[in-house]
Amino acid sequence: MGGVDKGFVELEGKPFIRHAIEHLKPQVDNIIISANREVERYEKFGYSVIRDTQDDYSGPLSGIASALFHARTPLAMIVPCDMPYLPSNLVKRMYRKLEQENAEVCLADDGEHIHPVVCLIKTELLEQLVSDVEAGQRKTKSWLTERNHVIEDFSDCVEAFVNINMREELPK
């Protein structure tokens, strides 16, 4: 995105972060924004903003660890801001699958790809995650799939998992 913080890239007249908030707000009790840059701008949305617990940017796992540390619930729904069309029943479906299978983590699969940064995760995994990140673990999908995990099939709404990483991918 040319060095611009993805959360503030505009789509349909709103920044990505606003899309994420609007999709999640009806589905969860609390929203926490994980950001390592432009924290003050994110705070203007009215939610807690947290930074990675690691001093060096250690990738998505460090952000997930920070989210688990700050969560005050037994589960945390993790989503990236660059997926602006997430389904309105995302949390419900993932929670149902997690509970049915008595798993620790539920990952979203759009029928083409597993999206490890779209996961419902038990906060009790925090200690293990922090230990593994401190030991050098950086591979999000590997770490999550090494846990007792399940995968929720969202192939009925593959378009909801469009991931926009470059300006050229923004709809015209």
pLDDT beyond 60 at 168: no
Number of domains in the chain: 1
Position with higher pLDDT, 76 vs 170: 76
CATH of the domain at 13: 3.90.550.10
Is residue 126 in a domain?
Answer: yes
53-62 LR contacts (CB < 8 Å, sep 24+): 53/130, 54/133, 54/134, 58/133, 58/138, 59/138, 59/140, 60/116, 60/117, 60/140, 61/129, 61/132, 61/133, 61/137, 61/138, 61/139, 61/140, 61/143, 62/133
Average per-residue pLDDT for the chain: 91
In a domain, 172, yes or no: no
Question: What's the pLDDT tens digit per position in 40-95?
Answer: 999 999 999 998 866 666 688 999 999 999 999 999 999 999 899 999 999 999 99
- What's the token pair of residue 49? 């903003």
- Using pLDDT thresholds of 50, 70 and 90, give the confidence band for residue 6: confident
Flag whether 123 is in a domain. Answer: yes
Q: For residue 142, what are the domain limits? A: 6-166
Q: Report pTM.
A: 0.92
Instruction: Tell me what pLDDT residue 1 has.
Output: 47
pLDDT (0 to 100) of residue 163: 82
Residue with tokens 């609007």: 22
